[in-house]
Each structure stands twice: as C-alpha cells, then as structure tokens.
Amino acid sequence: MAAKPQLGAAQPRPSAVAALRAGILMGGLAAAMTLRLASGGAAGSTSQPAAVLFAAVLLALGLLSGWRPVRGSWPSRARGAGMGLGGATLLCALPLAHRLWVGVPAVPRPAWGMLLTWSLATFCVAVAEEVLLRGALFDAVRRTGAGEAAAVAVAAVAFAVIHVPMYGPGALPLDLGVGVLLGCLRVASGGVTAPATAHAGADLALWWVW
C-alpha cells in the first residue's frame, strides 16, 4: 500500500537531500585531505599521526551523515570478508608476480620497529576511507536515484582524486581502477566489510610483498 503524503511543512525531496549530502561529504573529504597533508609537515603522506587524524575525521564525517554498518548475519559478514580477501589477493597477485619475474625498484618502507604502529595507522586509514567512500558517499549517491553504477563511479573518482596530491597524477589510473573494484565489492557484498577488507589487506601487504 502506498504511503499517503504527509501534510504540514514542505519536506525537501529525498533525492535533493541525498545529492546535497554527497556534495558535503566530498567537500569534507577534500578538507580532511588538506588537513592530513598540512599537518603531516615534512613527512607529508608518511606521517602516521596525520594519517590517524585523517582516519578519525573521515569516520566522524561518515557517522555524522547518518551512515551505520549494515546489521548482517555472521555468515553474510564472513562472506563479505571472504570477498574482500579475494580482492586483496587479486590486488597483490599481479604486482607480486611482476616483481618475481622482472624485479622492481627498491621502495622505501618504514623501519621494522614501526611495524605495529604503521599497521594500525594503515588499517585505520583504509577502513575509514571505506566507511566514507563506499559507505556514506556510496549510499548518498545511490539515494539520489542515480543508481549503483553511478555510486561506484563517484566513489572511485573521489578515491583516486584524493590520492593525487600524495602520490602524483601517475597514481591516478591505478587508484581509479582499484576504486572501481572496491565499489564492485560493495555492490556484490551489500556492505562495507568486503571493500574494507580488500583495501586494508592490499595496503598492509605492501610491507611484506613490496
């Protein structure tokens, strides 16, 4: 049965509210990125305190926008985590194979004594980015009526663009492609667990396989 329209004060159209929410989230994302880079000082993107601050801001924005994790059953969460692990494996497999066959330049990695703090900071940033991009922003774009494909695209573009100041335009194609994969994991699993697992897994693997 269709709900009757409510009388009283005029309510904004849900799609307009969702579009506004998506715009605010993207603006907040840009501000959070600026805060991370400016507060990182000379360390820039390698600053762990700035990274943790960035993660906290993203989580706050996601929660303020009304995003909450889907209350799924344990089997569905396990399935999401499994999909995410598959995604992380895929992301690592090709570079690893290339490294084994061809060799790669030496990439600086943090000192071993920083493994624990580096892992925590990396995990927090990955999960927070997924909460905001594939959680809050994805939901907001989808609620505009644009559909899931548009939500995947917008989140992927935002994901790629926010990393340009840190890794340069050369990283844009990779982050765009990976952003689409993470969005597809969100669509296929129905929640953020899968993209967050894939994202954190690929980031953490950097220490071991790169």
Partner 1 sequence: MRRAARHRRAVLAAGAAAALAGWLATGTNAPPLYDSVGVAPPFRYVCAPAGINLSLHPAPNPATQTLPVTNGQSPGVGFTTDEVPIPQAQVLVQAGELVLPPGATAITVSLTPVVPPQILPSDGVLDGNVYDIPVTAGNVALPLAPGALATVVLRGPPTGKLATLEQFDGRTWTPLNSTPVGTADIFGANVTSFTTFALVLPGSPQTHAAAGCLPGTTLVAPGVSSSGSATSTASAGAGGESSNTALILIGVAVVALLVAGGLLLLLRSSGRPPPRSGGGRGRPSRRR
Q: Which of 154, 184, 192, 196 binds partner 1 (CB under 8 A)?
A: 184
| # residues near partner 1 by CB under 8 A | 93
Query: Binding of partner 1 at residue 127 (CB under 8 A)?
Result: no
Q: Which of 126, 127, 137, 192 binds partner 1 (CB under 8 A)?
A: 126
Q: Which of 31, 70, 78, 100 binds partner 1 (CB under 8 A)?
A: 31
Residue type, 155: A
The distance from CA 177 to its chain's CA centroid, rounded to whole angstroms, is 13
Q: What is the DSSP string of 113-129?
A: GGHHHHHHHHHHHHHHH
Query: Binding of partner 1 at residue 121 (CB under 8 A)?
Result: yes
Q: What is the largest CA-CA distance in the chain?
A: 69
* CA separation for the pair 48, 192 (Å, rounded): 24
Taking the complex as a whole, the smallest distance from the CB of residue 178 to partner 1 amounts, in Å, to: 5
Taking the complex as a whole, the smallest distance from the CB of residue 182 to partner 1 amounts, in Å, to: 8
* CA separation for the pair 181, 87 (Å, rounded): 8
Burial 85-108 (b: 16+ CB within 10 A, else e): eebbeebbeebbeeeeeeeeeeee
Taking the complex as a whole, the smallest distance from the CB of residue 74 to partner 1 amounts, in Å, to: 19
Write out the binding residues for partner 1, residues 96-115 only, by CB under 8 A.
96, 98, 102-111
Q: Which of 85, 150, 157, 187 binds partner 1 (CB under 8 A)?
A: 187
* CA separation for the pair 32, 165 (Å, rounded): 13
For residue 143, give the DSSP letter. I
* CA separation for the pair 181, 22 (Å, rounded): 20
91/154 with CB nearer partner 1: 91
Write out the binding residues for partner 1, residues 38-97 only, by CB under 8 A.
38-39, 41-48, 51, 57, 60-61, 64-66, 83, 87, 90-92, 94-96
Phi-psi region of 209 (alpha: psi -120 to 50; beta: other; left: phi over 0): alpha
Q: Which of 122, 144, 193, 197 binds partner 1 (CB under 8 A)?
A: 122
74/199 with CB nearer partner 1: 199
Q: Which of 137, 151, 154, 203 binds partner 1 (CB under 8 A)?
A: 203
Query: Binding of partner 1 at residue 206 (CB under 8 A)?
Result: yes
